[in-house]
Amino acid sequence: MSTAGRPNASAPAESLAAVCRSAGFVRLTATPDGDALAALGQLGAALRAADVGFQASVSRVPRDSGTEADATVVLGAEAPDAALSVTTEPLASTAYDAARELGATPDPVLALAGAVAGGFVPGADLPLYDEAESALDRRPGVALPVADLADGLAHTGLVHADFSGDEGVATAAVADLDLPAELGDGDHRRLASLVALRAVRDAPDRAADRVERALRPYTGGPFRTLGGYADVLDACARVAPGVGTALALEAARADGEPAHTGAALDAWRDHGAAAHTAVRDGDPARHSGLGVVRAGEGAPLGTVARLAHGYRSPEPLVLAVGGGAAALYGERAAEAARAAGAATDATATGRGRTGYVDDIDAETAEKEVRAAI
């Protein structure tokens, strides 16, 4: 398929379905976040059901893989060489509608989990809510993907507090509540209160709003709660994209439990431990309008920037750097990332409140982002 003259705009579902339908082989590339991963799963499963060949990958900064394809669809970032880029959030909602246009029966809970991973709050005004509502219930408590409360509190990426990344501290915190084996609504409320109080301690004012994402969960899906499902998708996209891709493709079929839940939870634990350690131990710096976390090698920088913005830095924008890359979260994050990339010939992308820059050292990233804001 020729893409000459095709505008690189965020595609509505009908345009997305049309591109996929008319191609013999499609290359799907998603940015490393839960919303984009859920979108990839929806589209990939629809293409498989329609007997259209495809290749799926996750990349912080989408690049040409060299794979021969009739059409390339990029989910989560603008890509000049793509047939279509999908950047209007939630991405999973557009992909869900496109999958239905292609004749598939996608899973609304997966799509809604993707939207939640993108920061959206379930409700009647959110696309997919009506379709997913019958499969979900709401209760007091905390949105965790596992039954073990200490495991869940230590590794969740929805909150950063004194127990985060430290299962021993989390175990002691849960033990202090003296909860029964079977939790009632009152027990769930006590757990939620503990999480809320510890999350806002010594935190910026915005932490009170951020912690709400983890409270009063919707239950259902393969990871116990909708918020837990979103957290697992986001974690896999960042640290185990192969596992995440397999999980999303399986879940999108809506015909049983995904086979990769165990591997996905392992990735979720690794992700949570690494992110919280980096937020807590990373070398911080603060400038007017910018907080910086020098996270070191191997940290999931996008999560580090988001957690530091929500629970540690009062500045409107946070930059996390390490391993020759940078991630931003907050006001003008995508704009600042692209400006830093343009100033240094590094590769950058972003949308909304997130931004990424590859092939840039920490000092240069800090300098150029400060100049951009």
DSSP codes, 148-177: -HHHHHHH-SS--STTTT-HHHHHHHHHHH
pLDDT digits (tens, 9 = 90+) for 125-139: 777 888 998 999 999
Q: For residues 113 and 233, give the distance between their C-alpha atoms in angstroms, rounded to a whole number.
A: 8
Give the confidence band of 8 by pLDDT, cuts at 50, 70, 90: very low
Q: For residues 278 and 296, give the distance between their C-alpha atoms in angstroms, rounded to a whole number.
A: 8
Q: Which domains does the chain have, with CATH numbers?
A: 13-124 (no CATH), 137-243+263-276 (no CATH), 282-372 (3.10.310.40)
- The helix or strand, by DSSP H or E, that contains position 111, with its residue range, turns out to be helix 108-117
Confidence (pLDDT) at 346 = 94
Cβ count near 124 (within 10 Å): 7
- The helices-and-strands tally (H runs, E runs) of the chain is 15, 12
Give the confidence band of 258 by pLDDT, cuts at 50, 70, 90: confident
Please say if the pLDDT value at position 1 is more than 60.
no
Confidence (pLDDT) at 128 = 82
Tell me the pTM.
0.94
Q: For residues 300 and 165, give the distance between their C-alpha atoms in angstroms, rounded to a whole number.
A: 13
Tell me which residue has tokens 């985060």: 164
Instruction: Take residue 130 and report the two structure tokens written for it.
Output: 């009506």
Give the confidence band of 364 by pLDDT, cuts at 50, 70, 90: very high
Please say if the pLDDT value at position 7 is more than 50.
no
Pick the closest to residue 136 from 115, 114, 105, 113 (CA basis).
113
3-class DSSP assignment, residue 54: strand
Tell me which residue has tokens 């950047």: 87
Confidence (pLDDT) at 5 = 31
Q: For residues 367 and 312, give the distance between their C-alpha atoms in angstroms, rounded to a whole number.
A: 21
Overall average pLDDT of the 225-238 stretch: 98
Pick the closest to residue 227 from 216, 237, 236 (CA basis).
216
Name the average pLDDT for the chain: 92
Going by their DSSP bridges, the two strands 317-322 and 71-75 should be labelled as unpaired
Q: For residues 297 and 174, give the distance between their C-alpha atoms in angstroms, rounded to a whole number.
A: 32
Tell me which residue has tokens 């799926």: 56
Give the confidence band of 123 by pLDDT, cuts at 50, 70, 90: confident
CA angle (3, 7, 12) in 5-degree steps: 100
* Number of Cα atoms under 13 Å in the Cβ half of residue 80: 1
User: What distance, in Å, lies between the first and last C-alpha atoms of the chain?
Assistant: 40
DSSP single-letter state for residue 214:
G
Please say if the pLDDT value at position 2 is more than 80.
no
Give the confidence band of 259 by pLDDT, cuts at 50, 70, 90: confident
Phi, psi of 285 (to 5 degrees): -145, 155
40 alpha-carbon distance from chain centroid: 13
Q: For residues 260 and 244, give the distance between their C-alpha atoms in angstroms, rounded to a whole number.
A: 8
Exposed e or buried b per residue across 187-219, where buried means at least 16 C-beta atoms within 10 angstroms of its C-beta = bbbbbbebbbebbbeebbebbeebbebbbbbbb
Q: For residues 283 and 279, give the distance between their C-alpha atoms in angstroms, rounded to a whole number.
A: 9
Pick from 49-63, 227-241, 300-314: least confident = 49-63
Cβ neighbourhood burial of 364 (10 Å; 0-12, 13-18, 19+): middle
Give the confidence band of 10 by pLDDT, cuts at 50, 70, 90: low
